Amino acid sequence: MIDFRYHLVSIVSIFLALAVGIVLGAGPLQGEIGDTLNREVAGLRQDKAQLNTQLQQSNAARDGLDAYIAETNAQVLSGALSDRKVALVVFPGSDGAVAEATAAGLRSAGASVVSTTSVTDSWVSVDASSAAARDTAVAEAASRTGVDVSETGAVAPRDVLLAALLTAPKAAGAETVAPAAAVEGLTLLSDADLVEVDTEGFQTADLVVVVAGVVTSGEPEARATAAERWVDLSIAFDDRSTGTVVVAETSTAAAGTSVLVAVRNDATATRGVSTVDNAGTALGQASVVHGLVQQAAGDVGQYGFAGGADAPYAPVPAP
């Protein structure tokens, strides 16, 4: 049995050890400990300086590479999308600079950007009054344009309608909405504050580029629900058109729920929809163009450097 004397000896030993440590630290070992600490601090400073130099060199190399790609994209991408009609669809919370760069890149590749449609948050709202007003506008637009949204299955009627108004069907024998009727339907949706669209020179498109955003309002669960609804719209575009690519610049995206990430996390979406997560760079813009070429050929891929990417860039088509 452990008795009082055992405890007493233990306590005395502890205090003796502390005393010895204090004496040694303040005496014979004081200089050695100080020198060791100084050497370690100096080494850490040197490591930090080396890492900063390496970071600067890496950033300079990246910037130089991106500048070179930007300079050569005009030649490399020229004609890649000749005779292609592309609908540019911009989601809320997206980067305006990415949308502008994408439109310019598509045109430099020979594509005709036949419509630019900005979709508002009301498109995915779960608020009862907003949803009722939205569904009324969708029903009226569908009736005016002759788009059948009575039996859309798991796809929301509004998504089927917008895809039908903006794109020509890839399926043989499917009914195409005449441009004049499509403009009338889009105008009705615009009057209901569901979309903003420039209808001058409007044509239905065979390919779609979606500039995805980040959902920032609401609790995490509500944000995830909204992002999934944007994914559903992207799938609707892909189901009807020849191909759809969802693009964003995820490295500079605001905090929230990324729609592009939600696309990559959706097994149904990734079977048909391609993504580019670095569309704010020249390399990413090349992937947008080549991704559309790949989509037109019936293939799909996820490109960039964020999670879920298949490769850093879309494959360059064979000459």
pLDDT at 87 over 70: yes
CA distance 95 to 101: 10
pLDDT at 318 over 90: no
Terminal alpha carbon distance of the chain: 89
What is the band of 76 on the pLDDT scale with cuts at 50, 70, 90? confident
Mean pLDDT of 194-209: 94
Note whether 95 and 252 are within 8 A (CB): yes
Please state the pTM of the whole predicted model: 0.82
* Pairing of the two strands 274-276 and 214-215: unpaired
pLDDT of amino acid 91: 98
* Pairing of the two strands 214-215 and 257-258: antiparallel
What is the band of 236 on the pLDDT scale with cuts at 50, 70, 90? very high
pLDDT of amino acid 46: 76
Mind listing the pLDDT tens digit for each residue in 33-74? Answer: 667 767 777 777 777 777 777 767 666 665 666 665 666 677
Please state the domain extents for the chain: 4-57, 81-303
The DSSP secondary structure of 110-142, one letter per residue, reads: T-EEEEEEEEPGGGG---HHHHHHHHHHHHHHH
